[in-house]
Every structure is written in structure tokens, then in C-alpha cells.
Amino acid sequence: MPIVALLLLTALYGCTTTAVLAPSVSPLTSEKYAAIVVDANSGRVLYESAAHQPRYPASLTKMMTLYMLFEALDTGRVGLPTQLPVSANAASKPPSRLGLKPGESIDVQTAILALCVRSGNDVAAAVAEYLGGSEEQFAWMMTVKARELGMRSTNFRNASGLPDPGQITTAYDMAVLAMALRTRFPHHYHYFANRSFSHAGRVIRGHYDLLGRVNGVDGIKTGYIRASGYNVATSASAGGRRIVVVVMGGKSAKERDAHVEELIHAYLPRSTPSS
């Protein structure tokens, strides 16, 4: 099992209370709520609530889609200029989307930005079909990768996070994935800090409002479907300290983001400085 997951398992399963440290932030009242705060330098769990309860990932799914795409880049299977064809199936995906048309193609670098910034469901499907042959096969590959990373409670059914009752995860597993992305791909992680990008003569802006507003936040991904509520995985650092925060099930983006900001202010100072 990867060291990230092993450290988290040791810390979390040794805990019998809602939070490892004395809680200074109240949980959200939503029945869909789950959260975890992890010290990214030590793997210590600083806060958790329902962190192992099943939840719908929504577009946090795209963190794994990007993990698979980064892996393909590093193995040479694709390059940043590689063109990914857009099928009728990919083009038909509902918003959020980039607005790709059947028969078009999109280069890998633009696809990465579209997934990070715009959370394009059409782009996610195009990536899945290119790397997996079909979105169903790619979802199986994503689930296999999840097990390799120590994500024991995650099953993927698509590459985007669009509604599917079989697509489930936990706040814990999403924290494992968020940490693994930085650990495994530090040279690609900068994509998660982008707030906009240009495509087809347009500036495409994202909706990850914590970026640029909360000091120390450098990524990573938001998500929403009706069944999940408002989700986010966030990385924040200051003075050599770094935490990963996952909040799932907010009733609104504003409520979710305010809660994440509270957690950052409460627990980033309690995390371990890098040596």
C-alpha cells in the first residue's frame, strides 16, 4: 500500500472520536456531510467527521481521470500535443462542459486545463475513450488504480462524476487521491492552481473560488451533483506546513467554501512543518 494511504490508515483507524485534535470547527448540518483534514507532511489526521461513510464524488472523480492522464504523459503514451478525438458520446455529455462537437479533437494540455478549471464532462469522456477504449473500461481502470493507491471504498462508473448510483467514494479516499496527485506528479500539480485558460478564442473561467481568495490555497477540485451536495478537495500551505481538506455534502458552494476556510484557519497552524 502507498505510504500516503498507510499513514492515513494508521492515524484515522487509531482514532475513536470525531476529531483527532480537540474540535474547533463545528460540522455542517447536512446529512450528506463528510469531511477530513490531513497533515500532508506527516499523514496525521487533524479532523474527521463521517470520513469513511459512502458519498458520491461528483466531479472530484476528475482527480482520478487526471491521475490516469498524468500517468499516461509520464509513460510516454501521450504527449501534451496529442490530439484526443471527440465522439458523439463525449460531445453529448451534459454541463459542465467545454462545448466540444463530434468529430473535433482536443489536445492533451487543453484537456488537462479543461478538467481542472472548467470540469468539462465532455472532455472527461474524450480522455476516457482515448485511454480506455470506452468510458466503461476506463472507469474499471480507474477503480483498479484506486485500489493500488489504498482507496478501499471507491468505485468508479464514469470519468466525469455524472450521476450513477454505483459511483461512490469516501472523504478519506478523496484525501488519499488528492495527496497522491501531489506526491506522484509534483511536475503536473501546477495545473490545479489555474483559475482560467484560453480555448477557441475565449477565456474559460473556473468556479473554484477558494483559489485566489484564501491565502495558501493552491488547488485542487470542486464537485457537485444533486445527490452529493457541494464537494471540494483543497490543498493549503504556509510556512512549510501543508494540509489537505476534503469537504463533501455542503448545501451550497458558499457554505462549503466557508467551512473549508474555517478548517484551514483552525488546522493549518496545528500541522507539522516540513523538515
Enzyme catalytic residues: 59, 62, 119
C-alpha distances out from residue 179 to 3, 53, 98, 100, 190, Å: 10, 19, 27, 31, 14
C-alpha 23/C-alpha 7 separation (Å) is: 21
C-alpha 168/C-alpha 258 separation (Å) is: 25
Burial class of residue 117 (count of CB atoms within 10 Å of its CB; 0-12, 13-18, 19+): buried
C-alpha 226/C-alpha 28 separation (Å) is: 17
C-alpha distances out from residue 28 to 50, 53, 115, 228, Å: 11, 15, 28, 14
